[in-house]
A and B are shown apart, each in its own frame.
Chain A
Amino acid sequence: MKFARPKRKIVTEATQTFTFTRRAMVVGGLQGAFGLLLAGRMAWISVAQNEKYNLLSESNRVNLTLIPPRRGWIIDRNGRPLANNRTDFRVDLIPERVKDADATIRNLAELLALEPDEIGRIREELDKSPGFRPVQVADKLTYDQYAAVSVRLPDLPGVAPSQGFSRYYPAGASVGHLLGYVGAASAKEYEERKNPLLITPGFKIGKDGLERAFDTELTGKPGAKRVEVTARGKIVRELTTRPDMPGNTIRLTIDAGLQEYAGRRIATQSGSVVILDCHNGDVLAMASMPSFDPNSFSDGISHLEWEMLSKDDHVPLRNKTLQGLYPPGSTIKPMVALALLEAGVHQSETVNCPGAIRVGNTLFHCHRRRGHGAVNMRSAIALSCDIYFYQMAQRVGMDRIAEMARRVGMGQKFPLPFPSQSYGTVPDPAWKLKKYGQSWQVYDTVNATIGQGYMLINPLQMAVMAARLATGRQLIPNFIHGAERPEPDSVGATEEHLVVIRDAMSAVVNGGGTGGAARINIPGVLMAGKTGTAQVRRITMAERAGGVRGNASLPFKLRDHALFQGFVPFDNPRYAVGCIIEHGGHVNRIEDAPMICADTLSYLFDPKKAMEKLETLEKGWGGTPAERLTRQTAAFRLSKAMETGEVPASATSNAAQAANATAPTAPPAEEDGDAPPPASSPTGTP
């Protein structure tokens, strides 16, 4: 009220009209000014800042997705695929396009033979889905199923059949350790490479073996797809698509058929077989069994499957060929003999084998307690006489033997495309002094001569040794078909000496020696080889007094390793082989190293016959490795379920029986004079 009192203007009708007119003009002016302001603001956003907002609008609208490149194939020397990409047919439902859900699902269930619980899952997901996100109906379909759905599409609105690619290894477990497997990149791998491709759904990288070593070559260039998407992520249409560039094909020296054969022929044993081409060192087969199935690894292995594999005493997760180190046992005797020849020992010189000799304070036994009598080099190798080598090695000294061992590839690390490689030891006086600070003793020489003590070798090295003894050339194993290689150096042995060794090794197999089981049933092809037994336990004097326990009566882990190395044909070597059967103990002649080698090599000469034999044998083993693995998994799953109480106890005994039935107990070893008898020296055996 105070504001009005001091100076009150005289307001009349006329002044009020005038005030109104003036103020209405002000209001109009303000409105006009506002209009200009708004137009100016709009011009600022749409013209001055047009570029910025255009960019934002485009990044809203366009979604760039990478198309994972198809992985390059891995093929064998004959072009047969070892790893390829299987077209993965699948069918999805786009919920918002489905007209009659019940009828559609009923139709699909009939076409694809869906299980009732699958149908339940589809219905449930269909109810929950936000509409545009596809609901998977089925994947890994056959082409026929895919085609059956595709031709009925007009009657099935909302059904979306599509195809992608997944890695496929036709030979399954046989190539597990050779090729490795693929899988989605881990967070760590993405950190290292920072490639957005690694986190693209569906993209997989090599995780192990050759898949990992050649990952860069096998990975192609990704394609890209620009799609228009709505705010809720629904794809409206494809704008542009750049196709992917598949990765390069890698051609290996591996013979796919031989590789699979070798893997299957190892039977129920835990072991490894390597076959080399004697002409150039190409690796034709490199099997380590049992193995994992790279197909299931590439799809993502279940926790259960992993647990089963890691608990198995046959260590399916270890690549025995490259990471397993074993005492070579008597398989090095031909190499030692070559060193003896080089040192001037004549092949006809004889040594009397009384069954045991005393070296220092210790009594060293021959594997044959009664002794071999007088033996020369040929019969010492053929009969695997330990005493001959004890005596001769002492005469020439360890250094000459160790030097020859290195020349035939022992202790050598080869340039191989594998992430890890164990390469063993060739002991000599200098090595022992450096490693243990102790001087070399005569008994060290004696132990080393028969491949025990510090001497360690991996299966690949054993095959290399066989190939180098066979050819006299320092062949280097190689996996890449047609790789350029320098002419290999000579082992340094004369042809005359090599002939002596080959002849003696032939006698092992064909001349009544210890390797008769390795005789090869191909006319005109004679196998040469050398058996070996590597002891994994110490035989006490007390046990020896009461009789050495047979391998068959020992727990698996305490049985001797069984080894074999050799080549065919003995007079003109073409293929060399190395084989180790972990804890084989020579208890089962059919599943022992010599016969496994002979059968595997015979595949190279007569695949049909070799295959017939294998198929007959596999019936006794409970089927192919894949079948056995499936059954093992089922039994393991059942026993797991039992443990957690998901299955009543009554099923327990059945499951246990089923499990037993799948792992047939080794048939009793056939009595055969060729089979090397059990070990009989403190540390050394034939």
Chain B
Amino acid sequence: MSIVPQPISEFPWRVLLLLLAIAAFGTVVLYSAAGGSMTPWAINQIIRFIIFSVMALALSRIGVETFARFAFPAYAAVLIALIVVELVGGVAGGSQRWINLGFMQLQPSEFMKPVIVLAVARFYALLSVGEIRRWNAIWPALVLIGVPWALVLIQPDLGTATMIAAGGITVMFLAGLPLRLFIGSALTLAAIIPIAFSFLHDYQQKRVLIFLDPESDPLGAGYHISQSKIAIGSGGLFGKGFLKGTQSHLDYLPEGHTDFVFATMAEEWGLVGGVLLICAFMLLFRWGLRVSLRAQDKFARLAAAGLTTTIFFYVAINLMMVMGLAPVVGIPLPFMSYGGSSMLTVMLCVGIVMSIDRSSRRPARTGNWS
């Protein structure tokens, strides 16, 4: 036993410091994006980070069993919220993605990202071992994923819908479904993409086409990607220097403090800043996956790996979009992009993974099999 008291040694210092580093860097970038000012973004961002960190720590004190127990009720609640949004949106017209609660705007699709992981993990945890290779192991999960996916897709929000599906399917994959299912599905998907494409909304189709050839419309719909690439490309190895980015400061880069915050960062910090940030995220994912490998029960390990992957999808989709490898789908970069909803979601994920970490470190009560 070390001389450090147990509550302190149990405290997840390393991951908190990692998150703090990323969020602090994000705050610095937002400070620059506002033209060298703490207002309006940087100060809000750091305050939110502190609040949500406290929330994540609070979550980490809750036992894993509680999350497992509340997985389905939470799923049902978010699903109802999604339907309500759809109905309200139908009345208001246009694409509505949130419910106005008066004090804040609730975006239920955002909560669906972690909740779908918990629900699917819960489903496989409840499934008896022998059932895993049966049809019964597949269709309930597909329904769990499919309903919210469809609801979010018709909002329409292609990015979030993709993340919900990807999060759920990752859990299915980890749960041990036969590999050929995934390979077969991937091939089928490749075949039906052209058909699905024709069902997309005009602006979504346009985004996909522009993504394939951004230079075809550098001043119109391809403007975001073109300017983002110019910002990243002109940053070079070490960047233009703090507060010296021209693309962001002269407003050439659209959404430079939200979805395209990585481009704002890369312009001023260069490849060095970008690689450091990517490494920091990789460390976070490594921590999450190691927690999942250490976890003792099925729900815990599926949830930890799934939630980690959900954060990974945020990072991967956003960076691909910013670097011109994916269409512009409106997925923010965790801890960097300005905005409360996404940070709340990511911190929920982190909080639950911390809780799993905490319970697996406690002395084993039911046989330690790892």
Interfacial residues, chain A to chain B (CB-CB below 8 A): 1, 3-4, 8-9, 11-13, 16-17, 19-21, 23-24, 27-28, 31-32, 34-35, 38-39, 41-43, 45-47, 49-50, 52-54, 56-58, 60-61, 228-232, 236
Q: Mark B323-363, 1 if CB is under 8 A from A, else 0.
A: 11100000000000000000000000000000000000000
Roughly how many angstroms separate A54 CA and B230 CA in the complex, as a whole number? 7
Q: Is the CB of B274 within 8 A of A39?
A: yes
Roughly how many angstroms separate A52 CA and B279 CA in the complex, as a whole number? 27
Q: Which of B226-268 contact A (CB under 8 A)?
A: 227, 229-237, 246-247, 250-252, 266
Q: Is the CB of A228 within 8 A of B176?
A: no
Q: Is the CB of A46 within 8 A of B293?
A: no
B240 to chain A, nearest CB (A): 9
Q: Is the CB of A54 within 8 A of B233?
A: yes
Roughly how many angstroms separate A39 CA and B174 CA in the complex, as a whole number? 27
> For residue A2, which residue of chain B has the nearest CB?
B135
Q: Is the CB of B174 within 8 A of A4?
A: no
> For residue A55, which residue of chain B has the nearest CB?
B234
B131 to chain A, nearest CB (A): 9
- Most B CB contacts (10 A, CB to CB) among A52, A229, A231 go to A231
Roughly how many angstroms separate A41 CA and B266 CA in the complex, as a whole number? 13
Q: Which of B129-183 contact A (CB under 8 A)?
A: 129-130, 132-135, 170, 173-176, 178, 180-181
Roughly how many angstroms separate A113 CA and B135 CA in the complex, as a whole number? 89
Q: Is B199 an interface residue (CB 8 A)?
A: no
Complex contacts, A20 vs chain B, CB 8 Å: 174-176, 298, 301-302
Q: Which of B104-134 contact A (CB under 8 A)?
A: 129-130, 132-134
A462 to chain B, nearest CB (A): 64
Q: Is the CB of A54 within 8 A of B236?
A: yes
Q: Is the CB of A46 within 8 A of B312?
A: no
Which among B134, B237, B266, B369 is the interface contact of A4 at CB below 8 angstroms? B134
15 intermolecular pairs with C-beta atoms under 8 Å apart:
A1-B135, A3-B178, A16-B176, A20-B298, A20-B301, A28-B289, A31-B309, A34-B312, A35-B278, A38-B316, A45-B229, A46-B274, A50-B237, A56-B234, A230-B252
Knowing that A46-B233, A60-B246 are A-B contacts, what are 20 other residue pairs whose CB atoms are under 8 Å apart, sorted by A's residue number?
A8-B133, A11-B130, A21-B293, A24-B293, A24-B305, A28-B286, A39-B274, A41-B325, A42-B232, A42-B266, A42-B275, A42-B323, A45-B323, A46-B266, A57-B234, A57-B252, A60-B227, A60-B247, A229-B250, A236-B250
Complex contacts, A3 vs chain B, CB 8 Å: 178, 180-181
A32 to chain B, nearest CB (A): 6
Q: Which of B190-219 contact A (CB under 8 A)?
A: none
Q: Is the CB of B236 within 8 A of A31?
A: no
Q: Is B319 an interface residue (CB 8 A)?
A: yes
Q: Is B271 an interface residue (CB 8 A)?
A: yes
Q: Is the CB of A56 within 8 A of B275?
A: no
| Residues of B in contact, count (CB < 8 Å) | 56
A11-B133, A28-B286 are contacts. A57–B236 as well, Cβ < 8 Å? no
Q: Is B292 an interface residue (CB 8 A)?
A: yes
Complex contacts, B176 vs chain A, CB 8 Å: 11, 16, 19-20, 23
Complex contacts, B178 vs chain A, CB 8 Å: 3-4
Roughly how many angstroms separate A27 CA and B236 CA in the complex, as a whole number? 31
> For residue B301, which residue of chain A has the nearest CB?
A20
Which among A35, A46, A56 is the interface contact of B271 at CB below 8 angstroms? A46
Roughly how many angstroms separate A497 CA and B280 CA in the complex, as a whole number? 110
Roughly how many angstroms separate A4 CA and B180 CA in the complex, as a whole number? 11
A388 to chain B, nearest CB (A): 84
Q: Is B285 an interface residue (CB 8 A)?
A: yes
Q: Is the CB of B246 within 8 A of A61?
A: yes
Q: Mark B268-286, 1 if CB is under 8 A from A, else 0.
A: 0011001100110110011
Complex contacts, B250 vs chain A, CB 8 Å: 60-61, 228-231, 236
Q: Closest 3 CB pairs between A and B?
A: A53-B233, A57-B234, A231-B251
Q: Is the CB of B230 within 8 A of A42?
A: no
Roughly how many angstroms separate A42 CA and B129 CA in the complex, as a whole number? 44
B135 to chain A, nearest CB (A): 4
Complex contacts, A31 vs chain B, CB 8 Å: 282, 285, 289, 309, 312, 316
A229 to chain B, nearest CB (A): 7
- Most B CB contacts (10 A, CB to CB) among A1, A4, A45, A228 go to A45
Q: Is B320 an interface residue (CB 8 A)?
A: yes
Complex contacts, B134 vs chain A, CB 8 Å: 1, 4
B173 to chain A, nearest CB (A): 6
> For residue A28, which residue of chain B has the nearest CB?
B289
Q: Is the CB of B271 within 8 A of A27?
A: no
Q: Is the CB of B129 within 8 A of A27?
A: no
A13-B129, A23-B174, A23-B176 are contacts. A39–B278 as well, Cβ < 8 Å? yes
Q: Is the CB of A46 within 8 A of B251?
A: no
Main secondary structure of the interface of B (DSSP, over half): helix
Roughly how many angstroms separate A39 CA and B251 CA in the complex, as a whole number? 26
Which among B175, B271, B312 is the interface contact of A42 at CB below 8 angstroms? B271
Q: Is the CB of B230 within 8 A of A56?
A: yes
Q: Is the CB of A42 within 8 A of B274?
A: yes
Main secondary structure of the interface of A (DSSP, over half): helix
B142 to chain A, nearest CB (A): 14
Complex contacts, A42 vs chain B, CB 8 Å: 232, 266, 271, 274-275, 278, 323
Complex contacts, B251 vs chain A, CB 8 Å: 230-232
Q: Is the CB of B282 within 8 A of A35?
A: yes
> For residue B262, which residue of chain A has the nearest CB?
A42
A233 to chain B, nearest CB (A): 10
Q: Is the CB of B281 within 8 A of A35?
A: yes
> For residue B325, which residue of chain A has the nearest CB?
A41
Which among B173, B316, B369 is the interface contact of A17 at CB below 8 angstroms? B369
Roughly how many angstroms separate A1 CA and B309 CA in the complex, as a whole number? 29
Q: Is the CB of A23 within 8 A of B323?
A: no
> For residue B234, which residue of chain A has the nearest CB?
A57
Roughly how many angstroms separate A377 CA and B133 CA in the complex, as a whole number? 137
> For residue B173, which residue of chain A has the nearest CB?
A23
Complex contacts, B271 vs chain A, CB 8 Å: 42-43, 46-47
A62 to chain B, nearest CB (A): 9
Roughly how many angstroms separate A52 CA and B325 CA in the complex, as a whole number? 18
Complex contacts, A38 vs chain B, CB 8 Å: 278, 316, 319-320, 323
Complex contacts, A13 vs chain B, CB 8 Å: 129
Which among A11, A43, A45, A61 is the interface contact of B132 at CB below 8 angstroms? A11
Complex contacts, A43 vs chain B, CB 8 Å: 271, 275
Roughly how many angstroms separate A12 CA and B132 CA in the complex, as a whole number? 10
Roughly how many angstroms separate A616 CA and B306 CA in the complex, as a whole number? 104
A3-B178, A21-B293 are contacts. A231–B132 as well, Cβ < 8 Å? no
Roughly how many angstroms separate A664 CA and B70 CA in the complex, as a whole number? 105
> For residue B131, which residue of chain A has the nearest CB?
A11
Roughly how many angstroms separate A645 CA and B244 CA in the complex, as a whole number? 63
Q: Is the CB of A45 within 8 A of B232?
A: yes
Complex contacts, B305 vs chain A, CB 8 Å: 24, 27
Roughly how many angstroms separate A47 CA and B238 CA in the complex, as a whole number? 10
Roughly how many angstroms separate A145 CA and B254 CA in the complex, as a whole number? 43
Complex contacts, B312 vs chain A, CB 8 Å: 31, 34
Q: Is the CB of A28 within 8 A of B285?
A: yes
A24-B174, A27-B305, A47-B237 are contacts. A53–B180 as well, Cβ < 8 Å? no
- Most B CB contacts (10 A, CB to CB) among A8, A31, A50 go to A31
Complex contacts, B281 vs chain A, CB 8 Å: 35
Complex contacts, B293 vs chain A, CB 8 Å: 21, 24
B54 to chain A, nearest CB (A): 28
Roughly how many angstroms separate A4 CA and B176 CA in the complex, as a whole number? 13
Q: Is the CB of A24 within 8 A of B325?
A: no
B227 to chain A, nearest CB (A): 8
Which among A19, A23, A47, A230 is the interface contact of B236 at CB below 8 angstroms? A47
Q: Which of B284-309 contact A (CB under 8 A)?
A: 285-286, 289, 292-293, 298, 301-302, 305, 309
Complex contacts, A230 vs chain B, CB 8 Å: 250-252
> For residue B229, which residue of chain A has the nearest CB?
A45
Complex contacts, B229 vs chain A, CB 8 Å: 45, 53
> For residue B282, which residue of chain A has the nearest CB?
A35
Complex contacts, B230 vs chain A, CB 8 Å: 53, 56-57, 60
